[in-house]
């Protein structure tokens, strides 16, 4: 009996075959003859003529998907035709945008994935005529003319696109994600940030006598920074911070500096200034680099940069909305991803000497 069971098990295993798939690119608008050529080159069919005739025998013109398709090897021509019409076999390209990536980096990422041409994304995202229609419905933006580019509005996340997804649709998907995940943070902040105001009204009773009625009304307290400026600050925090627990502290340092009209002195703004001028990235900035002539140079200019310098994630946005309460005005990298924070220039200079020894 055991021998019979073993024989049946072996027979079942021998009969079971593991399908192997290959990914092919079907050019957009391809005719049956073009698709037959692609299939033949990838050894998925033995005869282009047989494929073409079988497609013609279907009567009505089949809907073949374009882009990257996953097709099993070793199938009959009929099965290959079926799979070419199966939307579930479209191969989507995974794109992960890390927190803090700027438009230059995202452009490189998309072109490396072959989804866009080099510089295509950047040109779209910095051209008012192309990007403004995609953000004109965003709330909390006082003036669209003040928006320099889509920097700050591309939400860092993982996306999936098919090979022929139009560029405008790619960017719309990222902005819609921003609306769904970043905007609610600001809306929640406004809802919590309220003040109670007493409203006095004078009314008359039935006898004609005037009396005073006091109503207490909750109203949103105006934030110290408008939405776009908050996103700009969040982008700087994102570019500086590596340790999550330090984000609210770094935000507090910059807010403290802004309050006393002190230059932010952020190195990432120097790196961004260099990018805008077509200069290469530098791992270590020199004192001469800090003198670069740019509105984004926060060593030479007081206040925030004219626009975001990167695309911040949720943690950096929250850090700016709910910063730590500190008396820190300085911080310096320890070289391990964390920083030492100081209240005075003297203390900062002391730690600078220690850490640079």
Contacts of 259 (CB under 8 A, 6+ apart): none
Q: Nearest Cα to 145, choosing from 317, 311, 306, 310?
A: 306
240 and 296 assigned to the same domain: yes
Percent of the chain exceeding pLDDT 90 equals: 71
209 and 236 assigned to the same domain: no
| pLDDT tens-digit series, residues 182-192 | 999 998 998 88
Average pLDDT value for residue range 79-108 = 96
Q: How confident is the model at residue 11 (pLDDT cuts 50, 70, 90)?
A: very low
350 and 267 assigned to the same domain: yes
Domain closes at, from 89, 107, 123: 89
106 and 85 assigned to the same domain: no
28 and 66 assigned to the same domain: yes
Q: What pLDDT shows up at residue 16?
A: 42
132 and 45 assigned to the same domain: no
277 and 245 assigned to the same domain: yes
Helix H or strand E encompassing 137: none
In angstroms, rounded to a whole number, what is the distance separating the alpha carbons of residues 169 and 150?
Answer: 14
In angstroms, rounded to a whole number, what is the distance separating the alpha carbons of residues 168 and 106?
Answer: 14
Beta strands in 174-279 (DSSP E): 194-204, 210-220
CATH at residue 46: 3.30.1490.480
* Residue 200 pLDDT > 70: no
Residue 251 lies in a domain: yes
Residue 40 lies in a domain: yes
Residue 72 lies in a domain: yes
Query: CB 329: neighbour CB atoms within 10 A?
Result: 21
In angstroms, rounded to a whole number, what is the distance separating the alpha carbons of residues 63 and 49?
Answer: 19
Instruction: Indicate the number of domains in the chain.
Output: 4
Residue 6 lies in a domain: no
244 phi/psi in degrees, rounded to 5: -55, -40
Q: How far is CA 200 from CA 102, 209, 295, in A?
A: 50, 16, 48
Q: What pLDDT shows up at residue 202?
A: 64
Range of the domain at 58: 17-89
Q: How confident is the model at residue 216 (pLDDT cuts 50, 70, 90)?
A: low
200 and 297 assigned to the same domain: no
Residue 127 lies in a domain: yes
Average pLDDT value for residue range 121-132 = 96
Q: What pLDDT shows up at residue 83?
A: 94
Among 80-94, 162-176, 201-215, the least confident range: 201-215
| pLDDT tens-digit series, residues 133-152 | 999 888 888 677 889 999 99
Q: Is 97 within 8 Å of 156 (Cβ atoms)?
A: yes
User: Count of alpha carbons within 13 Å of 17, Cβ hemisphere only?
Assistant: 8
Output 31-39 pairs: Cβ under 8 A, ≥24 positions apart.
32/56, 32/64, 35/64, 35/84, 39/71, 39/80
70 and 103 assigned to the same domain: no
* Residue 8 pLDDT > 90: no
In angstroms, rounded to a whole number, what is the distance separating the alpha carbons of residues 58 and 188?
Answer: 57
167 and 198 assigned to the same domain: no
Residue 7 lies in a domain: no
Q: Is 272 within 8 Å of 248 (Cβ atoms)?
A: no
69 and 127 assigned to the same domain: no
């Amino acid at each position: 009996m055991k021998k019979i069971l073993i024989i049946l098990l072996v027979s079942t295993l021998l009969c079971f075959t593991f399908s192997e798939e290959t990914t092919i690119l079907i050019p957009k608008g391809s005719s049956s003859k073009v698709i037959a050529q692609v299939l033949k080159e990838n050894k998925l069919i033995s005869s282009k003529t047989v494929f073409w005739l079988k497609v013609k025998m279907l009567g009505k013109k089949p809907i073949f998907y374009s882009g990257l398709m996953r097709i099993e090897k070793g199938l009959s021509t009929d099965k290959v035709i079926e799979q070419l019409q199966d939307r579930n076999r479209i191969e989507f390209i995974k794109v992960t945008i890390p927190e803090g990536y700027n438009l230059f980096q995202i452009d490189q990422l998309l072109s490396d994935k072959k989804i866009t041409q080099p510089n295509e994304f950047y040109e779209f995202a910095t051209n008012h005529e192309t990007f403004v229609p995609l953000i004109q419905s965003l709330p909390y933006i006082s003036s669209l003319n003040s928006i320099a580019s889509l920097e700050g509005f591309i939400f860092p996340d993982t996306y999936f696109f098919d090979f022929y997804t139009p560029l405008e649709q790619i960017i719309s998907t990222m902005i819609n994600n921003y609306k769904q995940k970043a905007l609610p943070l600001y809306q929640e902040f406004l809802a919590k940030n309220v003040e109670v105001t007493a409203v006095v009204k004078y009314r008359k009773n039935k006898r004609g006598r005037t009396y005073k009625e006091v109503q207490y009304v909750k109203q949103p307290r105006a934030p110290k920074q408008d939405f776009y400026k908050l996103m700009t600050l969040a982008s700087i925090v994102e570019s500086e911070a590596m340790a999550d627990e330090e984000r609210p502290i770094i935000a507090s340092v910059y807010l403290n500096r802004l309050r006393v009209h002190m230059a932010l002195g952020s190195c990432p703004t120097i790196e961004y200034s260099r990018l805008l001028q077509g200069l290469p990235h530098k791992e270590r900035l020199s004192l001469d680099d800090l003198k670069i002539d740019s509105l984004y140079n926060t060593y030479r200019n007081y206040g925030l940069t004219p626009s975001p310098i990167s695309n911040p994630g949720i943690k950096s946005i929250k850090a700016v909305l709910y910063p730590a309460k500190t008396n820190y005005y300085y911080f310096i990298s320890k070289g391990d991803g964390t920083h030492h924070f100081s209240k005075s220039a003297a203390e900062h200079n002391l730690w600078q000497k220690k850490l640079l020894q």
